[in-house]
Structure 1
Amino acid sequence: MGGAGGPGVLTPEYGADPTRLFLAGSSAGSNIASVCALTPNDPKFQPGFESADTSVTGAICFYGYYGHYFGDPPDEPAPALQPQGYVHPDAPPIVIAHGTRDGLGTVEGARNFAAQLRRVSKNAVVYAELPGGLHSFDVYHSPRFEAVVDGVDAFAAWVLAARSTSGS
């Protein structure tokens, strides 16, 4: 991508509105989306694009790994390059959805990540725990996943409305 803003910059000429940018991911993608959302404009994470604005409006994270795995004490520092290591007061609004029967990323890790964000961030942190939900709960269409989609839609609309009334 190029254009008036330089390589990699979202500009209206490409149909993108950088003030309405949400990152979303599931599983490993959730890990990546949350690291990206929590590390905007950090040159370490954008070599060659150090001057590009990489801030986002919000993040949507489904059944991810956020820094602690099975048996890891949740109060210990997160391993290097994991989202829990980058929690800060200016974190963007985030939705986290996780199933209680996830066999890959622990529900305890998701709960802990949401709790850490809530303690520190001045923005909204929504945590939805899906009783009996497995890893990849979004692969098959179901009433449960429809409810998650409706919740994410409502969250994004709320975040955008709040931004427009606050002038940011």
Structure 2
Amino acid sequence: MLSPALLAQLRQAVQPDPAKQPLPAPQLLHPGTRSYSDIEFAAWEGYRPLLMDVHLPATAGPAGLVVYVHGGGWMRGSRRRFPFAVSTFTEAGLALACIDYRLSAEAIFPAQLRDVYAALSWLAARGSELGLDTSSVLLWGESAGAHLAALAGLGARDAAGEPHAAATEPRPAVAGVVDWFGPADLPAMCDPADPHLREAQLIGGPIGERLAEARAASPVSHVGPDAPPFLIMHGTADSLVPVTQSQALAAALTRAGAEVELITVPGAEHGWLGMDDTAPLVASVRNFAEKRLGASRCRTADRAIEEQGK
């Protein structure tokens, strides 16, 4: 029988601890950025390693951080699919960390939330090596990613009211949450008997049979007076996630005394499909991030170059 020490050595040889792995070399993937790709931030036994990409301004100095969580109904999607230009944020002195999480066919909830917490813990531990200011971060997600960003921002607990295991690790404070058309109240939006719905796949069974789990997976269940500021954006013609979901979350935040802005976009479908120009929506996110992360950390590249030349 292998000794515990030897077993630990073998595990480390097969799957090194993500917290101790060397960082990749920076690449020039987007205008005005330094990008670090395929950073492994979690390696749960029995699952694929989880990766993130970090995009930073080309100029030196601690950068405020936006953590982006992709959509896809918890069933598909990738950290490399996002509806904005990276340079929109890096030119404003902001960094982006785009993260993966386990999909619902790989693991049921709360695995996905655990993965978001793990990414935040990795950034808290090693973000300074990349030139990030991780004293606080802004969380941003679309659709399923918005659901996870909202839960993480609210410090969501499990169905028994206990903190999720990964949530006990040190992680940055959440300065704000941007929620693009995310589900907020699973029992209110789903057929309770249908086992094939995306939401049922997420929690491991029909909503009606797993009501406690569905409520625990609903951001509205975790709203409290300590909620961070929220910017919620949703199309009025969304046929996948009704705009009433965002209205319910905004109302719950308002009742709790939290700061929230709800922007409804007339006629917009899920994913802003059919919209000719989403640049103003992305600009609103950037402005919200600059405000929440501190204008002193959000300098343009031109301003940083001017300062270096003095």
TM-score by length of 2: 0.43
C-alpha RMSD of matched pairs (Å):
3.1
Q: Rg bigger for which structure?
A: 2
Instruction: Check conservation: 2:156, 2:219, Cα contact below 8 A.
Output: no
Could you say which residue in structure 2 is the equivalent of 1:2?
Answer: 19
Q: Deviation digits for residues 78-110 of structure 1, max 9, x if unmatched?
A: 722210000011111111100001011111111
- Consecutive unaligned residues of structure 2, counting only runs of 5 or more, are 1-17, 21-120, 193-211, 298-310
Q: Deviation digits for residues 14-55 of structure 1, max 9, x if unmatched?
A: 3221124111111111101100110179973343x6231353
- Give the drift of 1:56: 1.4
Alpha-carbon distance in structure 2 between the residues aligned to 1:30 and 1:152: 13
Could you say which residue in structure 2 is the equivalent of 1:151?
Answer: 284
Report the AA paired with residue 269 of structure 2.
Answer: L
Alpha-carbon distance in structure 2 between the residues aligned to 1:46 and 1:97: 30
- Consecutive unaligned residues of structure 1, counting only runs of 5 or more, are none
- Give the drift of 1:117: 0.6
Instruction: Check conservation: 1:40, 1:53, Cα contact below 8 A.
Output: no
Could you say which residue in structure 1 is the equivalent of 2:271?
Answer: 136
13-22 vs 109-118, which deviates more?
Answer: 13-22
Instruction: Check conservation: 2:237, 2:269, Cα contact below 8 A.
Output: yes
Instruction: Check conservation: 1:23, 1:56, Cα contact below 8 A.
Output: yes
Could you say which residue in structure 2 is the equivalent of 1:69?
Answer: 189
Could you say which residue in structure 2 is the equivalent of 1:44?
Answer: 163
Report the AA paired with residue 189 of structure 2.
Answer: Y
SS at match of 1:113: helix
Instruction: Check conservation: 1:37, 1:58, Cα contact below 8 A.
Output: yes
Instruction: Check conservation: 1:31, 1:65, Cα contact below 8 A.
Output: yes
Distance 1:162 1:120, change over 3 A: farther
Alpha-carbon distance in structure 2 between the residues aligned to 1:148 and 1:162: 20
Distance 1:158 1:54, change over 3 A: closer
Could you say which residue in structure 1 is the equivalent of 2:148?
Answer: 32
State yes or no: 1:125 paired with 2:260: yes
Equivalences for residues 14-25 of structure 1 within 5 A: 14-25=130-141
Identity of aligned residues (%): 29
Q: 1:12 aligns with which of 109, 123, 128?
A: 128
Structure possessing the higher relative contact order (Cα contacts under 8 Å, 6 or more residues apart):
1
Distance 1:63 1:88, change over 3 A: same
Distance 1:162 1:38, change over 3 A: farther
Report the AA paired with residue 45 of structure 1.
Answer: H
SS at match of 1:64: coil
Instruction: Check conservation: 1:27, 1:64, Cα contact below 8 A.
Output: yes
Alpha-carbon distance in structure 2 between the residues aligned to 1:116 and 1:127: 12
State yes or no: 1:58 paired with 2:176: yes
Count of residue pairs the alignment pairs up: 153
Distance 1:90 1:129, change over 3 A: same
- Give the drift of 1:127: 0.7
- Give the drift of 1:12: 1.0
Alpha-carbon distance in structure 1 between the residues aligned to 2:239 and 2:268: 10
Distance 1:93 1:38, change over 3 A: same
- Give the drift of 1:141: 7.1
Could you say which residue in structure 2 is the equivalent of 1:82?
Answer: 218
